[in-house]
Amino acid sequence: MRDANEQAEQRFSKQAALVKLEDTDWSYDEGLVQLKEELASIADTLRAEETKKMVIVIDRSVKKQFAPSVELALNKPSPDMWDKVLKAFRSSLDKAEGTYLRKAKSFNSTDEENEHAIAHLRKRSWLSLRSVIDEQTADTVMLIKLKLAFEDKFRYDKDGVPRVWKPDDDIDAAFRTAKEETLALIPLYSTIKPQDSSLAFSLSESETGSTETMDDVEFDFASTLSVLSESKQIQLADKFRRESDAYYVEAKRSMVSSISQIPLWMYAVIGILGWNEFIAVIKNPVYFSLLLIAAAGTFITIQLGMTGPVVTLARGVSREVYKVANDTLREHFSQPHQRSLERPHAATTSTSDDRKTRSTSAEPESIELKKMQ
């Protein structure tokens, strides 16, 4: 920009010297001063526009840099969650400020203009961070985060192995502990407050109130530190309690299904009652041969991994047998009904035929009687 101003001034001086008349007191100094003032005004306007565009571009790049780290930190809630978020934000912001200062040298910006632009950059970057945090702390997203945290504590042990509930396990205590620990995560999201005080971020009054070239919306920085209000925390806790009850009922059902199995004494009763049949099968060569064939077939099927296809084939055959038997029974029970409908019709036809035969046989008799008379 400085080179462009010098070139414009030199060209103006060169052209003005050519049109200057000799032996006159005319001077182009006033025009040169006016030209410098106009060039300075144009330069200020263009510099402000370019600075605004540059800050917007840098702010977008800053958001792309810290957004993945912020999402990862918020997806795994922990006491040092906000430390990770602010550390990623500060690292991206420092790089952005360095990028701006390097580019601002080519614009011939003053220290005051650089300070003003950096204030805007810090404000816009903070608002970008809050937009990412708001997306990650929406109601639906928060419920998903809480359910995932609850599943990790309730369905998995400390080593990350899925739990198989047994009758001796204390589901109530495990559920209560996992539920309380998950509900304790909600206050962590309520306020942006790092454990390390050196990572705390703040904006000065000049930075929060500087909105001439960027945003015309003033905001209270202290209010932006609050993420979840008390009422919203209560609503999330109530929704999570209802969601977690489903996991408790599911665990109870799995335990009941594991308990509801055949008791051991029933096998002893079956063995005693079926002992005679077992002896009969062993003594009978035909039955014993069929038993050996069935056992060998079962062993080969299991060894070859053909259990699934065999079960599928057996189910298909059973369905076809059931279908054929059902159709046969329907046809069998529907035939007596048709016969009962045909019998009255046959009776009516037979009576009408009898009447016709009687009438025809009666006619010759009447004719013969007339002749005899």
Q: Two tokens at 326?
A: 């059902």
Task: Round to whole Å and give the CA distance between 50 and 42.
Answer: 12
pLDDT in tens, 87-134: 999 998 888 888 887 777 766 667 777 788 888 888 888 988 999 999
Picking from 155, 142, 140, the residue whose alpha carbon sits closest to that of residue 250 is 155
Average confidence (pLDDT) over 136-144: 90
DSSP secondary structure code for residue 82 in this structure: H
- Reported as half-sphere exposure (CB side, CA atoms, 13 A), residue 107 has a value of 24
Name beta bridge partners: 162.
156
Residue 211 has pLDDT above 50, yes or no: no
Predicted TM-score (pTM) above 0.75: no
Task: Give the tens place of pLDDT for each residue, 246-279.
Answer: 878 877 776 655 555 667 787 788 888 888 887 8
Closest residue by Cα to residue 130 from 216, 222, 57: 222
For residues 29-37, give the mean pLDDT: 67
* pLDDT at site 266: 78
Averaged pLDDT, 148-170: 80
pLDDT reported for residue 213? 39
How many alpha carbons fall within 13 Å on the CB side of residue 185? 24
How would DSSP label each residue in 229-252? -HHHHHHHHHHHHHHHHHHHHHHH
Average pLDDT over residues 10-22: 64
Separation of alpha carbons 177 and 56, rounded Å: 47
**What gap in Å lies between CA 308 and CA 319, rounded to an integer?**
17
